Amino acid sequence: MFKKLLLVTGLITLGSFVVSKESRTKAKETVREMVATVRSAVKSKTDGVESSTTRPEKKLYALRGRLKELDAEVSATKDRLAQQIVESSRATTDVNKLREEVDAGTKVLTARAAEIDAARTELVGYGGQSIPVSAARKRLDRDLELVAAKKALLTETESAAHQREEGVTLLRQHVAELETTKLEAMTKLDVLDLELKKLRLHEVKDRFEANDTKAGKFLEAVKELENDIQVRKVRRSLDPQKMTATLETTKPFESAADAVARKLGLKADKKIEKAGD
């Protein structure tokens, strides 16, 4: 019966090791896949082939959600670890109890064997009874067999308890590795998030620089127009004939009195005399 229990314990420990190994491998593959996906999305954006299905922000958000899978894995492993710790503690208690029983039985039987060997009569005390020496020897042999069987059981129980302790150690390592893997994934995603933010910042900067370039070109066009007008003015000043014609066609300054006399058909002096009368 105990051998079956020992076999089951060994299979549980081995199963925990296999599951832990597979879980570690799965977790690491998940992290590599997550990082590779975001890097591919960022590269697509950098190369100018971004689409609605490859936006790195969306992939980054989705992959942060997938970190919850690692949380579930860590929680499940801790559940198995807690169960293994309790079973290992019980196994240790059983080992200590069996060891005490074996030690006590060995001590008692050693003392009884000494009494039987020292007996000078046909009767000897054994287990609170006085029985013939021959019967006492037979009972001693049976009790020694029982103690020997219990000692063998103690050895197997110690082996089972040791395997459970190894299972606890493996599960503790597995939990630590999963938590490390999760932290590594979070760190890598944070780095990729920072790279993506830098990329977006450069894109905004490029747009502002493009706007500055347009404004600069507009100002250059205005300056060029002003220069053309100034050149035309200077060129006209270099042509004296045109300047003279312009001066000749310009009417002289006319006072208000002259304008009135001109309209009335009077000379300026007559207008002045009438005004005197």
| pLDDT greater at residue 228 or residue 97 | 97
Per-residue pLDDT of 218-232, as tens digits, reads 677 777 877 878 888
| More confident position, 35 or 177 | 177
pLDDT of 3 higher than 50 = no
Q: Which of 160, 137, 157, 161 is nearest to 149 (CA)?
A: 157
Q: Which residue has the higher pLDDT, 249 or 70?
A: 70
Residue type, 237: S
Percent of the chain with pLDDT over 70: 63
Determine the average pLDDT of the residues in 123-136. 87
Please tell me the least confidently modeled range out of 116-125, 137-146, 156-165, 210-219. 210-219
Backbone angles phi and psi of 125, in degrees to 5: -75, 135
pLDDT at 97 over 90: yes
Indicate whether 154 pLDDT > 90. Answer: yes
pLDDT, position 182: 87
Mean predicted lDDT score pLDDT of the chain? 75
Instruction: State the sign of the Cα–Cα–Cα–Cα dihedral 34, 39, 44, 46.
Output: positive
Task: Judge whether residue 216 has pLDDT over 90.
Answer: no
Please name the amino acid found at residue 5.
Answer: L
Rounded to 5 degrees, what are φ and ψ at 76?
Answer: -65, -40
Per-residue b or e along 99-115, where b marks 16 or more CB atoms closer than 10 Å to that residue's CB: eeebeebeeebeebbee
Q: Which pLDDT value is given to residue 19?
A: 47
- The predicted model gives 188-200 an average pLDDT of 87
Map residue 48 onto helix, strand or coil: coil
Per-residue pLDDT band at 8 (split at 50, 70, 90):
very low
Output the pLDDT for position 125. Answer: 86
Q: E strands, the chain, where?
A: 123-126, 129-132
CA dist., res. 56 & res. 204, Å (int): 17
Q: Where are the beta strands (DSSP E) in 127-235?
A: 129-132
Mean pLDDT of 114-120: 87
Angle separating helix axes 2-46 and 133-237, nearest 10 degrees: 0
End-to-end C-alpha distance for the chain, whole angstroms = 158
Judged against a pLDDT cut of 70, whether residue 239 lies above it is answered with yes
What's the confidence (pLDDT) of residue 169? 93
